[in-house]
Structure 1
């Protein structure tokens, strides 16, 4: 017997092509994995929405703002579109990319202990960004921490130019 997924979730996520531009195969693969992980397990409820999901989410950038276009799965009925300033996230995203570069460089030459230490820092920054995103969304969209983590990954993906 299959279990019906909860209605207040994302069933589809897309990234705005104009926001991300063209990238290499590795970057495209990372984006696809991030979307897959998000769709596998998420909790997503637009605040004040009298209806139910599941929802689709289109993520983009416009005028240095993060755009979250939320629609219902059935009929693509618009629910809400949020425009969020990226300024509060900018520093943690920048720091996250720096530590990711260190991590990928360390994989080639560092000891397992050094790699583990860098990875712990990387995960810590990822958690910090996720918490910040969850706080920024709290009056707009209810998400659990794991969903916020996966959304933070996708926001970072908008900045991956490969």
Structure 2
């Protein structure tokens, strides 16, 4: 019986390059930790040319590019992506997240829900862009791409 590709093509560890990170707020640190936890709990990550996983991922920034160092059984590759196509989405995501965190403390449930819907919509748009930018390099599902986008944003947070 063949193994399900969704169980063998997965991440077993995710590390963010410490030199790419800056001091962050408690909310941002919590979002980063949740994204990594959720990503490791359930993900689909299939690098082109890899026979089997699981994989270890190290994410970092080099100038204005995202660096993904992927290692697995008989697989080791560095992928570098321009972040220029994400620039506006990342900026908008930061703005809506700031509004959302403020709303949690001071706003009505309806206002919080409206901001959360906007945040999720923007997150989905960025995740679909990430999947398209990774095409031919790494295949992911939407949930994995969403969590990876959260970590890309974590690399951009400047406290």
The TM-score, its normalising length taken from structure 1, stands at 0.88
Q: State the shift of 1:120 in Å.
A: 0.5
Gaps of 5+ in 1: none
Relative to structure 1, the CA distance from residue 96 to residue 131 in structure 2 (aligned partners, 3 Å threshold; closer, same or farther) is same
Relative to structure 1, the CA distance from residue 109 to residue 29 in structure 2 (aligned partners, 3 Å threshold; closer, same or farther) is closer
Distance 2:75 2:158 in 1: 29
- Point out 4+ residue stretches in structure 1 off by more than 6 angstroms: none
Relative to structure 1, the CA distance from residue 118 to residue 29 in structure 2 (aligned partners, 3 Å threshold; closer, same or farther) is closer
- The residue number in structure 2 matching 1:42 is 43
How many pairs were matched up? 155
Q: State the shift of 1:25 in Å.
A: 4.9
Distance 1:45 1:33 in 2: 22
Superposition map of 1:1-162 within 5 A = 6-49=7-50, 51-72=51-72, 79-162=76-159
Gaps of 5+ in 2: none
On the 8 A contact 2:89/2:126 being kept in 1, the answer is: yes
